[in-house]
């Protein structure tokens, strides 16, 4: 082999060696970035989860904190067990959002699995005495009450369902 051919062959090996080193360096940097990202993610809660720290608290302090959270999110539901249906199709539901409630509410009147009426926002201390559903008849029904976020009016928590009876009002 000539000196020129040997030099060319040596240059090719060096270039291949450098390319290999660059690829290895890139892979190493990607691994470091991935591990750094994993470290930053460690200990983060799932989206939507509420994380609290009870470390260093006594059992009584933890219970007091949990009780406070329950009190803050408690909602009293007041609904008449029997709703009167008048000849005009109005239903006397008497849904009360107690003044002590922290959240506005909305309710749905459901009969045979179909929502026949959905209220607007009912602020604490307010009452909906009657509503006019699209169609309804005497018989069993459900009033579903949903707490609303005071800021966004989006649903807050799980709804509560109350079984009621709809009866025709006497025309006396």
The 10s digit of each residue's pLDDT in 26-68 is 887 787 877 777 766 655 555 656 556 777 888 898 888 888 8
Confidence of residue 172 (pLDDT cuts 50, 70, 90): very low
List, as one string, the DSSP characters of the chain: --HHHHHHHHHHHHHHHHHHHHHHHHHHHHHHHHHHHHHHHTTPPPTT------TT--HHHHHHHHHHHHHHH---EE--SEEEE-TTS-EEEEEEE-TT-SS-EEEEEEETTEEEEE---B-TTEEEEEE--SS--SEEEEEEEEEB-TTT--B-S--EEEEEEEEEPP--
Same domain, 35 and 89: no
The boundaries of the domain holding residue 34 are: 3-51
Same domain, 83 and 134: yes
The residue that leads in pLDDT, 106 or 74, is 106
Mean pLDDT to the nearest integer, 16-20: 72
Same domain, 136 and 100: yes
The number of folded domains in the chain is 2
Give residue 48's region: left, alpha or beta (phi > 0; psi -120 to 50): left
In-domain check, residue 60: no
The residue from 35, 51, 67 where one domain ends is 51
In-domain check, residue 57: no
At 103, phi and psi to the nearest 5? -115, 145
Using alpha carbons, select from 147, 115, 146, 155 the residue that is nearest to residue 131: 115
Same domain, 79 and 147: yes
Mean pLDDT of the chain: 83
Same domain, 162 and 95: yes
pTM above 0.85, yes or no: no
Q: Note the pLDDT of residue 38.
A: 72
Q: Note the pLDDT of residue 7.
A: 60
Q: Note the pLDDT of residue 59.
A: 87
Q: Indicate whether 17 pLDDT > 80.
A: no
Range with the poorest average pLDDT among 38-42, 74-78, 88-92: 38-42
Mean pLDDT is highest, among 32-46, 48-62, 76-90, 108-122, for: 108-122
Same domain, 85 and 156: yes
């Amino acid at each position: 082999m000539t000196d020129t051919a040997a030099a060319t062959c040596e240059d090719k090996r060096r270039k291949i060696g450098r390319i290999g080193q660059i690829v290895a360096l890139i892979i190493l940097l990607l691994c470091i970035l991935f591990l750094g990202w994993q470290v930053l993610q460690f200990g983060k809660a799932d989206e939507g989860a509420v994380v609290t720290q009870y470390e260093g608290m006594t059992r009584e302090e933890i219970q007091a904190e949990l009780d406070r959270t329950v009190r803050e999110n408690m909602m009293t539901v007041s609904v008449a067990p029997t709703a009167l249906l008048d000849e005009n199709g109005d239903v006397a539901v008497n849904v009360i959002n107690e003044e002590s409630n922290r959240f506005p509410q909305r309710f749905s009147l459901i009969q045979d699995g179909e929502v026949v009426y959905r209220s607007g926002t009912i602020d604490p201390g307010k009452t909906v005495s009657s509503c006019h559903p699209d169609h309804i008849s005497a018989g069993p029904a459900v009033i579903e009450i949903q707490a609303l976020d005071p800021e966004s009016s989006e649903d807050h928590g799980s709804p509560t369902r109350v079984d009621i009876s709809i009866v025709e009002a006497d025309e006396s």
